[in-house]
Amino acid sequence: MKAPKPIFDSWNMANIAVMLLYRQLLRPLLFTLDPEKAHHFSTQLLTFSAKFPGGKALLSALFQPKPKPVQVAGLSFPNVVGLAAGFDKNATMMHEMALLGFGFIEIGTVTPKPQAGNPLPRMFRLPADEAIVNRMGFNNDGVDAVAERLKNRPHHLIVGSNIGKNKDTPTHKAVDDYLIGFKKLAPLTDYVTVNVSSPNTPGLRDLLAIEPLKELLEALTEANMALKKPVFLKLSPDMANEDIRAVTQLCATLKLAGIIATNTTIGRANLKTSNKRIAEIGAGGLSGMPILERSSEVIRLIRRELAGEPMSIIASGGIHTPAGASLKLQAGADLLQLYTGLVYEGPGLVKRIVDELR
């Protein structure tokens, strides 16, 4: 009879130690800083650690799970956990984030022209809710700078590009911006995500209405005829269910690779954070644990609507634990994406999820 695996084997002890080190030491330090400054500090710390002699080997040993390949949209992913767009907007951290065990990385959102984004402060933590509110506004270096960096991407890793429109581009000319982003980034990445669901660019969500969305996706489908790259559409959790059904059917008709569910929400219901603090923060997209249930509901809705159609779903929103990851997969997701969960749980989260799902 095969002996049961001990609960506290060397792997578990190392994982627990990494988790406690982050929660008890590093996270309290980072949370004393402005969220955007904390982001820059943590990425610089990771970059320094990777350059230090033996740093890459140590990071890989600590954070990379054993491969558990999965085939999605014609691509072979080393595992189901990816880095959501927004963390590495400018394709400057691809090599370093690969060391943390991610099965894929989505860079962006990238716009045709560089833009500074919205005024500071524009990112806020809600620790009581394990959430973040951001109104970044697609701050990025522009498509040409990002395309140049993608020429040196890690080729052992799946890399996706997330494209959007510039703030000053009128909605009726948005298709032009998306075509610029697609034509310059699609040849350099493994898949492309169309972001029309961020709440932080005025008028962007108007593109989720069926007619403008149909025009946009048809133009991208035509541009993709030669490349045949998987194209995903990122949806908003604030959409009505009937609109989600209609958009899902449109994506299936145009034979998109799939849908990412979901982006951030403008909703503020059932938060533990005080109403006074919420009012002080103001506008922005809410991410993290509060959208776990709604984004999972959207996944279930999409999966039912697809009814066997060969389209994939990438889950994003509220994945902070292996249990949250399992919930998304049970709802019908094929892949997962993290960002806010990484802020609250630390770099060991990827390995914890992949190894527990194993």
Active site residues: 198
Is residue 338 a contact partner of residue 83, using CB atoms and an 8 Å limit? yes
Amino acid present at 211: E
Cis peptide before 273 (omega within 30 of 0): no
Helices H, strands E: what count in the chain? 14, 13
Contacts of 121 (CB under 8 A, 6+ apart): 34, 36
Count CB atoms within 10 A of the CB of residue 279. 9
> Residue by residue, what is the 3-state secondary structure of 108-168?
EEECCCCECCCCCCCEEEEHHHCEEEECCCCCECCHHHHHHHHCCCCCCCEEEEEECCCCC
Q: Which of 326, 327, 349, 352 is nearest to 339 (CA)?
A: 349
Q: Which two tokens stand for residue 117?
A: 């984004």
